[in-house]
A and B are shown apart, each in its own frame.
Chain A
């Protein structure tokens, strides 16, 4: 963490498919940087092998594999990692190792399922990237590698109901299996554990128990202690049902470090005052080049980036035990101790969030990324005080990917024109979008997010929306920003001026520096 003084250089902010350098007020601003990347595991394949043979609170994988069994391997979809990791992906390495054991045991009824939840179906090239050619070519042509379909009602099974009345309904093939092996990439603390299956293989009915405005408004935070998260408490209740009434699950969780960008974007990972002449030149060159390009070309460049992530941990076995170990590794990488809250939180919104791999960061996703993800990057309490101001930087163009986000377009035009209140929109509009046959068709057969997904993206920011006294977007299209319920500002100075109505003339400021993931452990 850096306390800003008069000698502090301007600080880097993401602005979608670009950057800006912003001068933060001296003596009352601080910059929270992500920790340095942890060292990766030297022998990744050896570590995976060891995890499979020495699992936590379960028998070794080979002991669970029988020739006549029904084995289902499930993996996280393309919403992770961000950016996509350089090949070979953790999931490929893990699943290849699992398949080796399965082959040795003579298992021949194997299905591999992408745990999409209500996300869009992955393109074949994305499946190849995540799983590698060997797995794709062996399973996909035979229909044994496919993607979960939350609207395929004939292929969903109810496993039970929690004490709170939450119905656990998941993929039938997985539910009927003798063993599920789940391969994940745990990039942030929110993911993994029971959430993997209870969301990734769930139906809309099942997800709606916790993916709703009330639950997300009472989730504090998504990245911190589980008992502060209504979302996770609901999912863990479902996890108990899964454990007691579902198939045996062999959970394999992997963690990665903070090496999100290759050397050509090295300046992104450094503190500004540590920038070398080369870093400055790279920044200026990159910024100038990007400014000359249309958005489409900029997106192509950024989405083609492959992150040099390194695996920092791999654990396998009984889900809760595995996940505790995983969280230790995640927090070891992400936690930054921070003293107290500030009046203002600033954050640069990047070109990507979990819901637009290969796509456009549309205005709803800007809200989701800012208030849903970055605001929630805390443990204990938010970086900004209740009633404080959140300032984001992003162009917030009114652009949508019609293939990936068809219902987002209507959500923006119809729902946000009516209300930005997550509770109201949930009651008034959600059902219509969730049951829309066109959206269902595009979700099931194309590459579209489920019709209800923009609601979930909006709910994700519900806590931040409630918490902040004002949200300002610097550099965004004014009318689009207003439609989100936020205040547009042309420059960071204008934003501070606007914020002064809420937090006065000398507010304290925290800047959450991305890229690199961090979780501020606010005391």
Chain B
């Protein structure tokens, strides 16, 4: 089949890193080529025909050569990217893909939750998710192998354009629910709870949706956004206040009635948000998150941070907690009930009619334009860019 594939090529990764700021996606280790069909991985796996496959920030960082060396042993080359997938099995049943290659899928059913050896062992080549593993294929191809544990059913009336947002929404909801313990404590103390979301791209909007839908309604959500359409969407989804990132510290200060100590970008709030969800993942955004989160508050890293440079003195002094937010699982909601993140994401996608976040779709052979569009989504007024395989 013809698919987009990434081969291990240090030279191309290096060139991509150099050229991506001016020529996004023009030079990369990604090629549209004929690839060998991956071997059938075994029992429980079936062919999954891709309808739509989104382009995620982590995909872009791989294509642009910015991915962390951490992943080198958790991926297997050559692989077909694409993990935000809606498609159908050969019998025509539609699903969204839960891309995590969980212990059952990897043939290590009894792997402990606090040991990630299964990502590099088991029946498959290394890979944390479909889209990073050469054994399964990925979403940027006409089809891939999906394990039965990865197939999440969707309602018949849920359009593909909405369903393709389920996976990123699940990531945002997971991050949002990581805010709950601190929000709960604030409510118990009688404080007006304040949660900040830094960034209003797909993941930031997903986090806002999760906060608004599953945490108490009186909680205040402040979002930092850069572009007008992001501001409008963040407000529409439920942020109480949306400001430019440079004005976030003042907005949080106003909401929490604290002091701003110091000047400019080095100023810290004397108190601040109970939780800040960083959906950007850069040195600057994490620094901002630390500046505006109250002592002993929590910073949730939703955006994949990779290699960052930080002054952690403030974190040390304020005993700030940094919490990673990777993918999804089974969530405990504020009322004590549990649900899978994907169930919540399907509910959220329907509630917000998430197709409004899908800005454009491309054919696989238009991948250079598609990736360039995704890399400049904010500036170009877009949110989510996806490949449409339905007519290919």
Are A441's CB and B259's CB within 8 A?
yes
A414 to B258, CA, bound (A): 16
Contact with B along A25-40 (1 / 0, CB 8 A): 0000000000000000
Complexed CA–CA distance, A413 and B263 (Å): 18
Q: Which residues of B contact A402 (CB under 8 A)?
A: 263
Q: Which one of B183-191, B245-253, B301-309 is at the A interface?
A: B245-253
Within 8 Å CB of A438, what residues of B? 253, 257-260, 270
Task: Confirm or deny: B254 has a beta carbon within 8 angstroms of a beta carbon on chain A.
Answer: yes
- Judge whether B279 is part of the interface by a CB distance below 8 angstroms: no
Interface string of A398-435 (1 = CB under 8 A from B): 00001000100110011000000000000000000000
Does chain A have a CB within 8 A of B243?
yes
- CB proximity to A under 8 Å, residues B247-296: 247, 250-251, 253-254, 257-260, 263, 270
Is B250 a contact partner of A413 (Cβ separation < 8 A)? Answer: yes
Q: A437 touches which one: B251, B257, B263 (CB < 8 A)?
A: B257
Distance in angstroms from B250 CB to nearest chain A CB is: 6
For A409, the chain B residues whose CB sits under 8 A away are 250
Chain A residues whose CB sits within 8 angstroms of the CB of B257 once the complex forms: 436-438
Alpha-carbon distance A402/B247, docked complex (angstroms) = 13
Is there contact, CB below 8 Å, between B259 and A413? no
Give chain A residues whose Cβ lies under 8 Å from the Cβ of B254: 410, 414
Chain A residues positioned under 8 Å from B253 (CB to CB): 438
Size bin of chain B's contact surface: 10 to 19
Q: Which of A406, A413, A436, A441 contacts B251 (CB 8 A)?
A: A413
Are B259 and A437 touching (Cβ within 8 A)? Answer: yes
Minimum CB distance partner of A433 in chain B: B254
User: Of A410, A437, A441, which contacts B250 at CB under 8 A?
Assistant: A410
- List chain B residues, Cβ under 8 A from A406: 260
* Cβ contact of A413, chosen from B247, B258, B270, cutoff 8 A: B247
A438 to B260, CA, bound (A): 7
> Contact residue range for chain A?
10 to 19
Using CB atoms, name the residue of chain B closest to A436: B257
* B250 nearest in chain A by CB position: A410
Q: Mark B210-246, 1 if CB is under 8 A from A, else 0.
A: 0000000000000000000000000000000001000
Q: How far is the CA of A406 from the CA of B262 in the complex (A)?
A: 13
Tell me the bound Cα distance from A112 to B263 in angstroms: 32
Closest chain A CB from B259 CB (angstroms)? 4
Interfacial chain B residues near A410, Cβ < 8 Å: 250, 254
Shortest C-beta distance, A417 to chain B (Å), equals 9
Residue of B at shortest CB range from A402? B263
Contact indicator per residue, chain A 436-456, by CB within 8 Å of chain B (1) or not (0): 111001000000000000000
Beta-carbon nearest neighbor of B244 in chain A: A413
Cβ distance B268 to chain A, nearest Cβ, rounded Å: 13
CB contacts (< 8 Å) of A441 on chain B: these are: 259
Q: In whole angstroms, how far apart are the Cα atoms of A406 and B263 in the complex?
A: 11
Residues of A within 8 A of B260 (CB): 406, 438
| A contact residues around B259 at 8 Å (CB) | 437-438, 441
CB-nearest residue of chain A to B253: A438
The 0/1 profile, CB within 8 Å of A marked 1, for residues 188-204 of chain B is: 00000000000000000
A413 to B243, CA, bound (A): 9
Q: Report Cα–Cα, A406/B260, bound state, in Å.
A: 10
Nearest B-chain residue to A441, judged by Cβ: B259
Residues of A within 8 A of B258 (CB): 437-438
Give residues of chain B (78-136) contacting chain A, Cβ–Cβ below 8 Å. Answer: none
Note all chain A residues with C-beta closer than 8 A to B247. Answer: 413
CA distance A410 to B258 in the complex (A): 13
How distant is the Cα of A522 from the Cα of B254 in the complex, in angstroms? Answer: 45
Q: Mark A3-47, 1 if CB is under 8 A from B, else 0.
A: 000000000000000000000000000000000000000000000
Residues in A neighbouring B250, C-beta threshold 8 A:
409-410, 413
Report Cα–Cα, A83/B257, bound state, in Å.
36
Nearest-neighbour CB distance to chain B for A448, whole angstroms, equals: 12
Query: Which residue on chain A has the smallest CB distance to residue B270?
Result: A438
Residue of A406, A413, A437 contacting most chain B CB atoms (<10 Å): A413
Mark contacts of A239-260 with chain B using CB atoms, 8 A cut-off: 1 yes-contact digit, 0 otherwise.
0000000000000000000000
Residue ID in chain B nearest A409 by CB atoms = B250
Q: Across the interface, name the chain A residue whose C-beta is closest to B255.
A: A414
With A and B bound together, what is the CA distance between A38 and B303 in angstroms? 69
Chain A residues within an 8 Å CB radius of B243: 413
With both chains docked as a complex, state the minimum distance between the C-beta of A358 and any C-beta of chain B, in angstroms: 18
Give A449 to B258 CA distance when docked, in angstroms.
18
For the complex, give the distance between the alpha carbons of A402 and B249 in Å.
14
Q: Closest Cβ of chain A: how far from B379's Cβ, in Å?
A: 19
Q: Residue-by-residue, is A321-360 near B (CB-CB < 8 Å gives 1, otherwise 0)?
A: 0000000000000000000000000000000000000000
Q: How distant is the Cα of A441 from the Cα of B258 in the complex, in angstroms? A: 11
Contacts of A437 in B (CB 8 A): 257-259
B260 and chain A: residue at smallest CB distance = A438
- In the complex, A436 Cα to B271 Cα: how many Å? 14
Closest to A439 in B: B259
* Nearest A residue to B263, CB-CB: A402
Shortest Cβ distance from A501 into chain B, in angstroms?
Answer: 28
- Chain A residues, Cβ within 8 Å of B251: 413-414
In the complex, residue of chain A having the shortest beta-carbon distance to the beta carbon of B247: A413
Quote the shortest CB–CB distance from A119 to chain B (angstroms): 21
Distance of B116 from chain A, by nearest CB (Å): 44
Could you tell me the distance in whole angstroms from the C-beta of A446 to the nearest C-beta in chain B? 12
Closest beta carbon of chain A to B38's beta carbon, Å: 53
Q: Which of B42-78 contact A (CB under 8 A)?
A: none
Q: Residue-by-residue, is A373-407 near B (CB-CB < 8 Å gives 1, otherwise 0)?
A: 00000000000000000000000000000100010
Q: How far is the CA of A441 from the CA of B254 in the complex (A)?
A: 15
List B343-372 residues whose CB lies under 8 Å from chain A.
none
Q: Which residues of A sit under 8 angstroms from B270, Cβ to Cβ?
A: 438
CB distance from B251 to the nearest CB of A (A): 7
A402 to B260, CA, bound (A): 11
A443 to chain B, nearest CB (A): 13
Complex Cα distance A438/B270, Å? 10
Q: What residues of B have a CB within 8 angstroms of the CB of A436 in the complex?
A: 257
Report the bound CA distance from A438 to B251 in whole Å. 13
* B243 (CB) vs chain A CBs: closest residue: A413
Q: Interface digits, B12-37 against A, CB 8 Å rule (1 contact, 0 not)?
A: 00000000000000000000000000
| In the bound complex, CA of A303 to CA of B85 (Å) | 62
A439-493 with Cβ < 8 A to chain B = 441
CB under 8 Å from chain B, chain A span 174-209? none
User: What CA separation (Å) do A436 and B253 show in the bound complex?
Assistant: 10
Note all chain B residues with C-beta closer than 8 A to A413: 243, 247, 250-251
Complex: A413 Cα to B255 Cα, angstroms: 13
How far is it, in angstroms, between the C-alpha of A409 and the C-alpha of B263 when the chains are bound? Answer: 14
Query: A406–B250 Cα gap in the complex (Å)?
Result: 10
Q: How far is the CA of A409 from the CA of B244 in the complex (A)?
A: 14
Chain B positions within 8 Å of A414 at CB level: 251, 254
Residue of A nearest to B241 (CB): A414
Chain B, residue nearest A435 (CB): B257
In whole Å, how far is A396's beta carbon from the nearest beta carbon of chain B?
A: 19
Complex: A437 Cα to B270 Cα, angstroms: 11
Instruction: Give the distance in Å from the alpha carbon of A441 to the alpha carbon of B257 in the complex.
Output: 12
Q: A409 to B257, alpha carbons, bound, how many Å?
A: 15
Measured in the bound complex, the distance between the Cα atoms of B260 and A436 in whole Å is 12
Closest to B267 in A: A402
Nearest-Cβ distance from residue B261 to partner chain A, whole angstroms: 9
- Measured between C-beta atoms, what is the minimum distance from A478 to chain B in Å? 15
Q: Which of B251, B258, B259 has the most CB of A within 10 A?
A: B259
14 contacts between A and B (CB under 8 A): A409-B250, A410-B250, A410-B254, A413-B243, A413-B247, A414-B251, A436-B257, A437-B257, A437-B258, A438-B253, A438-B257, A438-B259, A438-B260, A441-B259
Report the 10 A-B pairs with minimum CB-CB distance, sorted nearest first: A438-B259, A410-B254, A410-B250, A413-B247, A414-B254, A438-B260, A436-B257, A441-B259, A409-B250, A437-B257
Q: Which residues of B contact A (CB under 8 A)?
A: 243, 247, 250-251, 253-254, 257-260, 263, 270
Known: A409-B250, A413-B247, A414-B254. 8 other contacts (CB 8 A): A402-B263, A410-B250, A413-B250, A414-B251, A437-B258, A437-B259, A438-B257, A438-B259
